[in-house]
Structure 1
C-alpha cells in the first residue's frame, strides 16, 4: 500500500471539504500502526493572519473529550475506587432526587458511559453549558431531570451524562476534574499542548473558532471550563491526539473500543465494486464502533462545538487512523475522515491477507481433524471429541459418511487461505484432493481444555 497515494487522497478530500463547507482552517494527521506519518494544514488558524494550521495548532476537540473522561473512570475503577455497576447516588448523593421514570432501574456509571441512562439527546443545548458552575449544575440535577425512556432500555446520546461522569471523577478523586485529568491522563502521555483550561492555550498556537451566520463568519468567544468540561472541553493538537489515538491502535482490545450498546444500523452505498453494505453502530466507553459487513470495524468519535468540529477514526485491521480538526461550528470533519478511512480499508482488503485469530487448542484440533480425514484413528477421536459427539451422531455413522464424502481417498490437504474464524473457538476450512474439495466446520467446547463439540463435513460448492 502506497503511503503517498493515501496522503494525496487525503489532501484532496480535505481541500474539497474546506471549499464546500467554507471552513476557515483545517489541521489533519494520518497515522499508521500507532505512528503519525503525515500531517498538514489548510487555510488559516485565525482569519486574516496568514497563519496556516499545523500539527501543533490547538483546537477545541469538543466531544472527542468523552474518550478521555471514560479512560479516567476506568482508571479509578482499576484502582478499586468505584464500580461501574453501582448506582451513581453512591458517589453523587444529590442525584437521589433526579426524577427517574416510574419503575425504572437506577442509573449506574456504566449506563452513563454507554449512553444508556435514558436522558434526552442534548446537542446543541449541552454545547453551551461548558462554563456552568459546578454548584449550579448540582442544583439543576438535584431539582430533577427529564427522561426519554427508562434507564438501560436504549441508546441516546447525552452530554449531560458525561458531565455527571466528570462530577463522579471529581468526588471520588477528591480534587477538581481538570487537575486529576492533567496529572493522571494528559501528563503521562506528554500531551504538552493539551489542556482543559482555555487561558492556558498560547495565543501563537490557538485556532480561533468561527460561527457562520447570514452576515458572514463571526469569531466565537472562548468559553471557560466548568461543569460540562468533561463532555467536550479539551483543547488539543494533531500531534498530541496522535499520542492518544496510538494508545488504542497499539491495543485494539482496550475496553473502551469494545461495542457495548447498540445505536443504529444503516445500509451504506456501494463502494468501488463492493455491494451495498450494512453498518451496525454501537457505543463503547466514550467511543463509537461501526461494524461494516464489507470493510470491517472502525472506531471513532466526532466533536462539534461552537466554533469547532473534529473527528478521530481508526481501522484496526489495516492499522490506519486519521485525526481532523476544523475551526467552524460543527465543521463536519467526519465526512472527509470517513471517506479516507474507507479508502484505506479498501486498499488493505485488496493487498493484504486477512488476519486469522485462532486459539491454540482450536489449531491443534484442526491438525487432528485433518489426520482423521486421511486416516481415521479412534484414539485421536477419543482424545479430541467432547462427550456429546458420539451421542449426537454415532461414531460408525460419522466415519461412514466421511468415507463416502472422501471416496475413501487419502492425501487430503488444507486449501490455502480457506480458513475463517469468527471466534477463536470456531474454525471453518477446506480440504482438497485431486480436484475434489470438502468443507470442514468445527466448534470447540467451553471447557478449560477445549475439545471438539461439533464437527461437520460437507461437499464444497
Structure 2
C-alpha cells in the first residue's frame, strides 16, 4: 500500500541560505536532522551542493528540492527566500507555481473520465468540444484531432510557450470565441511532436464539458483532495498570500516582481500552485502504480491508468546528455507521453519527467518508476527550471547505488522452471526436464547435442550454487547468476506463451574467474 506521511515529520533538515542574493553555499545553515538519513550524507551533500551552485549561478531567490522513495519523502531541503522584501524563508509550506508540471494533472483527469465511460482517447476531440467541428485543417487528407493527439502534443498545433505562458487567465467565454474562429495549424495532425499549451487548454475544456464542472474543480475534488493535497489548487488569489513564494524576474542585475496570473482556461496547461508538503503526495501516488500487482486500489485513479501516463505515440527525439563526469555523455531517446516526457536513460533506466517554466517560476520533476524514486524541485525565478540539476541529483543516487530496481515477484511457473534448470545442471542431464520443455526446445537443438554442451560447461565451471536467487523481469522470463568453482554462470530462462507455460529457452554462459 502507498504510504503518505506528513512531510514535516520526514525532513532531513532545511537550508535557509540566501544563495541567490550573494550568500555562498558554504554559508548555508542546515537545521538539525529529525531522524537518521535514509540516503547517505555524502550523497546528499553532493546533491545539495549542485542545487546551491545552481541557485547562485541562476539568481534564484528561493529553492526547494526533495527525494521521494517508496511512498515517503526521504530527503528535503530549502534554500533562500519566498519574499525579497520581508526575507521570509521558503519552507515546505511555501506555495510555488509549477507551470507545465500541471499538465500531468490534466492528463490524468482525462484518463479518469475515460475510465468513467465518458470519453474515448481515440475519438475526435470535436465530439467533446463542438466548436472544433468547423476548423479548417492544413490539407484535405488531414485526420481530425483526437483526444490522444492533444495529450501527446501531436495535434498539429504550433509550439506556443512564449504566448501560452501569458494566457493562463483567459476567460472561458473568450476561449469559446477563439475556438469558434479556428486556429492556424503548424502541420497536419499525427505527423510529429510539437509542444502545444493550446492543446492542453483544449483538454481542460473537455474535462469541463464532460464532468459538468470547471476543470479545476473536477481535478481538485476528484484527484487532489483524495490524495490529501489540501493546499494545492489553481487560484493564486484564493490562498494565504503570506504562504506564497513570490515570483521574480532577474534582469540587468536586479530582481523585479512578476505579476501573478489568476485562474482561467490555460490553467489546465500550467496553473497549478502547490507546496512540497502536497507535491510529495502526488509523486508518491504516481510511483505507487508500479509494478503491476494484485491488491486493493488505494488512489483516486486506477494504477493501470496512472501507468498510461508513460505511453507515448512513438515520435521519439534523440538527445545527447552529459553525465556527472566531464566528457561523459549518454544518447537518450525521448518520447512525450501524457503529461510527461518519457526517456530511456543510460544510468537511470526508464524515466518520466517534466519541467515547468512560467513568469516568476521554474520547476522540474523526474520519476524513476522502476526504482520507485522521484526527485523534484521548485524555484521562484522566471523560467529557472532546474531540470539539469534534478537529473544530476538522480545520477548521484544511481552512482551511489541508491536506485536499485524493484524486484518482480517470481511466479510459480518460473520458480518451478528454475528448479528444473538447477537439477538439469547438477545431473548433467535433461531427464529432470521431461514434461517441462516446450515443443520447440528439442527442435532447436536435440537433447544429445544439448547434453554434450552441458558436459563441456560443467567441465569448465565445476559445481555451481544452483540455489541462487532468480531475478524475474516478467511472469515468464528472467535471469540468474550461479557462483561456481571456477567462476560465474550467467543464465536466461524463458517460458512459452501457452498453458501450462513450458521452457522454450534456457541459456547458460560461463564467465571464468579472473
What is the TM-score normalised by the length of structure 2? 0.81
1:279-326 deviations in whole A, cap 9, x for unaligned? 232323212223212232333221001111111223345544333111
Q: Check the 8 A contact 1:25/1:44 in 2, yes or no.
A: yes
How many residue pairs align between the two structures? 458
Q: Given the alignment of the two structures, is residue 243 of structure 1 paired with residue 281 of structure 2, yes or no?
A: yes
1:87-109 deviations in whole A, cap 9, x for unaligned? 21211122123333432333222
In structure 2, the residue matched to 1:88 is 125
Distance 1:451 1:303 in 2: 49
Name the SS for the 1:323 alignment partner: strand
In structure 1, the residue matched to 2:455 is 403
Distance verdict in 2 for CA 1:357–1:203, change over 3 Å? same
In structure 1, the residue matched to 2:384 is 331
In structure 2, the residue matched to 1:390 is 442
In structure 2, the residue matched to 1:255 is 307
Q: Which one is further off, 352-361 or 114-123?
A: 352-361
Match of 2:485 among 434, 439, 449: 434
Distance verdict in 2 for CA 1:220–1:432, change over 3 Å? closer
Distance verdict in 2 for CA 1:445–1:273, change over 3 Å? farther
Matches within 5 A, 1:37-116: 37-102=74-139, 103-116=141-154
Q: Given the alignment of the two structures, is residue 33 of structure 1 paired with residue 70 of structure 2, yes or no?
A: yes
Name the SS for the 1:121 alignment partner: coil
Name the SS for the 1:286 alignment partner: coil
Name the SS for the 2:443 alignment partner: helix
Distance verdict in 2 for CA 1:234–1:2, change over 3 Å? closer
Distance 1:459 1:37 in 2: 40
Distance 2:408 2:499 in 1: 18
Q: Check the 8 A contact 2:135/2:182 in 1, yes or no.
A: yes
1:150-170 deviations in whole A, cap 9, x for unaligned? 333332222111111111111
Q: Check the 8 A contact 2:429/2:451 in 1, yes or no.
A: no
Name the SS for the 1:19 alignment partner: helix
Match of 1:305 among 339, 358, 375: 358
Match of 1:372 among 418, 421, 424: 424
Name the SS for the 2:157 alignment partner: coil
Name the SS for the 2:435 alignment partner: helix
In structure 2, the residue matched to 1:8 is 45
1:214-273 deviations in whole A, cap 9, x for unaligned? 373222211121111100001111111111111023333441453424542223334359
Q: Which one is further off, 287-296 or 179-188?
A: 287-296
In structure 2, the residue matched to 1:449 is 500
Q: Tell me, which stretches of 5 or more residues in structure 2 are unaligned?
A: 1-37, 292-305
Name the SS for the 1:77 alignment partner: helix
Per-residue deviation, 1:7: 3.8
Distance 2:77 2:323 in 1: 30
Per-residue deviation, 1:37: 3.7
1:327-364 deviations in whole A, cap 9, x for unaligned? 11101322322221211121125xx7654426412332
Name the SS for the 2:357 alignment partner: strand
In structure 2, the residue matched to 1:128 is 166
Distance 1:341 1:459 in 2: 34
Per-residue deviation, 1:369: 1.6
Distance 2:183 2:499 in 1: 48
Name the SS for the 1:44 alignment partner: strand
